[in-house]
Every structure is written in C-alpha cells, then in structure tokens.
C-alpha cells in the first residue's frame, strides 16, 4: 500500500466501481468483513456502498488515514 495520503487516494481512484471487501479492526481480537463497491473518493475520505444482503446499512465511509495506519484493509476482487 502507498505511504502518502495522496498516493492512497490516487490508487483508490484507479479502483472506482470495483467490488471489494473491507476488513476492519473492531476490538482486541475482533475483525469485521464487509463486502461492497468503491463508489466515490473525496479529498479526505472514500465511500463504499455495501452489499444489502449482508449489512443493515447502505454505505460507509473511511478516511485515507485508516488505510495508512492499517486500521482497515481493502481486498479487491481479482478478475
């Protein structure tokens, strides 16, 4: 993963519209996995529309610093 916020945003811009899995730390030994699609990138955050079959809410946003500090990880679908 890139090491600057601008590089992270540019990397995510190239994956717009792709399906992904967001792996987030939810506690000491708890991890949540959410499937969705990367829909928008903004100056400080990016938006993931979640799969409605598996989640109770429609979309979630994360900051680029979450990726930089490894609070979340993104796994893109390979085609």
Question: pLDDT of 19-72, one tens digit each?
Answer: 999 999 888 889 989 999 999 999 999 999 998 877 777 999 999 999 999 999
26 domain-assigned: yes
> Exposed, middle or buried: residue 26 (CB in 10 Å: 0-12, 13-18, 19+)?
exposed
In the prediction, which pLDDT does 27 show?
84
Q: Has residue 51 been placed in a domain?
A: yes
d(Cα 1, Cα 7) in Å, to the nearest integer? 9
How many domains is the chain built from? 1
Whichever domain contains 11, its CATH number is 2.30.30.100
The values of phi and psi at residue 68, to 5°, are -65, -40
Contact 71, 25 (CB under 8 A): yes
Torsions phi, psi for 72 (to 5 deg): -135, 160
Q: Assess if residue 79 is contained within a domain.
A: no
DSSP state of 29: S
* Residue 41 structural domain: 3-74
Does residue 59 lie within any of the structural domains? yes
Is residue 36 a part of any domain in this protein? yes
């Amino acid at each position: 993963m890139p090491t600057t916020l601008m590089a992270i945003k540019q990397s995510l811009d190239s994956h717009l519209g792709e399906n992904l899995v967001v792996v987030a730390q939810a506690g000491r030994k708890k991890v949540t996995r959410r499937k969705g699609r990367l829909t928008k990138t903004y100056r400080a955050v990016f938006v993931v529309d979640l799969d409605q079959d598996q989640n109770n809410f429609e979309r979630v946003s994360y900051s680029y610093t979450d990726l930089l500090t490894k609070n979340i990880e993104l796994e893109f679908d390979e085609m």
